[in-house]
Amino acid sequence: MNLQHPRNDKGAGTLVIQVANALRSALSSGDYAVGDKLPSEARIAETHGVSRTVVREAIASLRSDGLVEPRRGAGVFVLEPTEPATLPFQNVDHARLSSIIALLELRSAVEVEAAGLAAVRRSPAQEEAIFEFHRAVGQCIAEGKPTSTADFALHTAIADATNNPRFSEFLRVIGQNAIPRAALSSTDPGSSKSYLEQLHLEHANIVTAISDGDAEAAREAMRVHLQGSQRRYRALLQTT
C-alpha cells in the first residue's frame, strides 16, 4: 500500500494533480478496496512532501470523480466507481464554442457571488490557500507550463472560502471543464503568454479584493474576469 511519490517542488497546482494521480493509481491497483478508509490528510501530506491544502484539493478531485466520499468526523472512504457519463457537465463539447460560452455564463452566475461571499467569510487558512494557488498560476505562466490545473484550483479555493459547500461542490462537479482553454489547441490566442498574463492580472484583482474584505470589488473583479472570457470566445465564434 505504497503512496510514495517523487518529491516535486513545482507549483501547488501541479502538485495537486500529481497527488491526485498517485491516489487514483493506488485505488486502481487495489491498494484500497471499496469501503476502505484513506490515510489522514496529515499522513498523505507527509508522504508526498506537500501541504494539507494540496491534499484536500487532490481528494476533492477524486470526490468529483465519484471515487471517494469524505464523511464528517470519520475520514475519507473509497466508493464503488460510478459511470462518468451519469455525472452532469461531463458532456461539455469543447469543439463547440457555443458550449464553452454557455458554461462560462453559468459560472458567472455562481462565481461572481462566490467571490463576494469569500471576501467577507474567508478564514485566514482559506485566504492563504487562495494566495498559494494564485502564485501557482503565475509560476506556471513563467515556466511556460499549462495553467488550467492551477487556475481551477484557484477558483475552487475561492469557492471554498464562501464557507457554503454548495459553491465548491458546483465547481467540482463541473471539474476542469470549468477552464475551457485546457481543451484548446496551442494555436488558440488564449494559450499565448500575453493573454495568460492578462488573466493572471485579473486573478490578482479578485484575490486582492477578497483579501481586503471588499465584497463588491471582489464581485466586480470576478465579473470582469469571466465576462472577458465570454467576449473572447464570442469573438472566436464570429471568426470560425
88-239, which class in CATH? mainly alpha
Give the C-alpha distances (Å, rounded to integers) separating 239 from 113, 233, 234.
32, 10, 9
Q: Please tell me the distance from the alpha carbon of residue 175 to that of residue 193, in angstroms, as a whole number.
A: 24
Q: Are 156 and 172 in contact (CB under 8 A)?
A: yes
Select the more confidently predicted residue: 179 or 212: 212
Q: What is the pTM of this model?
A: 0.63
Q: Please tell me the distance from the alpha carbon of residue 139 to that of residue 126, in angstroms, as a whole number.
A: 20
Exposure of 118 in the CB half-sphere (CA atoms within 13 A): 35
Q: Of all residues in the chain, what percent carry a pLDDT higher than 90? A: 52
- Tell me whether the CATH fold assigned to 12-84 matches the one assigned to 88-239: no
Select the more confidently predicted residue: 152 or 5: 152
**In the numeric block, which cell numbers belong to residue 165?**
459547500
Write down the residue that cell numbers 490528510 correspond to: 41
Res 15: pLDDT:
86
Per-residue pLDDT at 17 exceeds 80:
yes
Domain ranges of the chain: 12-84, 88-239
Res 187: pLDDT:
41
Confidence category of residue 4, pLDDT binned at 50, 70, 90: very low
User: Cα 101–105–106 angle (5° rounding)?
Assistant: 120
For domain 12-84, the question of CATH label 3.40.50.300 is answered with no
Per-residue pLDDT at 182 exceeds 70:
no
Q: Tens of pLDDT along 40-59? A: 999 999 999 999 999 998 99
Q: Which of 174, 201, 43 is nearest to 100 (CA)?
A: 174
Rg of the chain in Å (alpha carbons): 18
Confidence category of residue 98, pLDDT binned at 50, 70, 90: confident
Q: At what angle do helices 148-160 and 193-212 cross, to 10 degrees?
A: 10
Specify the amino acid at residue 135: R
- For residue 165, count other CB atoms closer than 10 A to its CB: 11
Average pLDDT, the chain: 84
Q: Are 233 and 92 in contact (CB under 8 A)?
A: no
Q: Tens of pLDDT along 194-204? A: 888 899 999 99
Q: Are 160 and 133 in contact (CB under 8 A)?
A: no
